[in-house]
Amino acid sequence: MQSSNSRIEVLKGDITKVRVDVVVNAANSSLMGGGGVDGAIHRAGGPAILEECKRIVARQGDCPTGEAVITTGGNLPAKYVIHTVGPVWYGGSHQEEEKLAECYRNSLALAVANHCKTIAFPNISTGIYHFPKEKAAHIAVRTVLDFLQKETSIEKVIFVCFDAENESLIRKEMDQTR
């Protein structure tokens, strides 16, 4: 079996272009779309994604912070989108770090449950939600590695970084794991 690190890749770019089984969206709890990566995913994926989000919210209500739901990928190259709600950064005393780790863990578990072998993550919460990027990179890499050590059905996890700062922080975290 491949080591856990070698199943992780880091890319700089636009997550809507990545060909994987599932891409993760940094959504808000209404699941109704928004700015940043959320807006980009809904724009590129088309209306089928929002329609499914609306059905999910009608059935089970808003998506709590740290949790995740899955929809079609619509017109994206990815088959599915997992929508997870990252924590807003309020200074660190509102369980933000644990909630961010839950986003990664719950998204990975949902991917496994849906037989996905390849998954791409954006840098959840580091945009409009203002989670400190260095802390977020540490949590993202450590949580994914921990998960991969126990779960072997996931073949590839790609961190798709939109900005150079996140890319270099994630690469630095990865270097420390080798």
Site for ligand ADP contains 118 (CB under 6 A): no
Convert 130-159 into a string of H (helix), E (strand) and C (coil).
CCCHHHHHHHHHHHHHHHHHHCCCCCEEEE
26 vs 53, beta carbon nearer ligand ADP: 26
- Is residue 87 within 8 Å of residue 77, measured between CB atoms? no
Site for ligand ADP contains 20 (CB under 6 A): no
Site for ligand ADP contains 126 (CB under 6 A): yes
Stretch that binds ligand ADP, among 9-17, 51-59, 63-71, 93-101 (CB under 6 A): 9-17
Is 38 a residue of the active site?
yes
First to last CA, the chain: 17
Site for ligand ADP contains 159 (CB under 6 A): no
Given the residues 14, 38, 62, 163, select the one marked as catalytic. Answer: 38
CB of 122 to ligand ADP, least distance (A): 4
- Cα distance between residue 82 and residue 112, in whole Å: 12
Q: Site for ligand ADP (CB under 6 A): which residue of 38, 67, 167, 173?
A: 38
- Is residue 72 within 8 Å of residue 21, measured between CB atoms? no
Site for ligand ADP contains 97 (CB under 6 A): no
CB of 160 to ligand ADP, least distance (A): 5
- Is residue 8 within 8 Å of residue 157, measured between CB atoms? yes
Beta bridge partners of 68: 84
Residue type, 58: A
The CA-CA-CA angle for residues 150, 165, 111, to 5°, reads 30
Q: Site for ligand ADP (CB under 6 A): which residue of 45, 66, 74, 122?
A: 122
Site for ligand ADP contains 147 (CB under 6 A): no
Footprint on this chain of ligand ADP (rule: CB under 6 A): 14-16, 26, 36-38, 40, 86, 122-129, 160, 162-163, 166
Which residues are marked as active site?
38
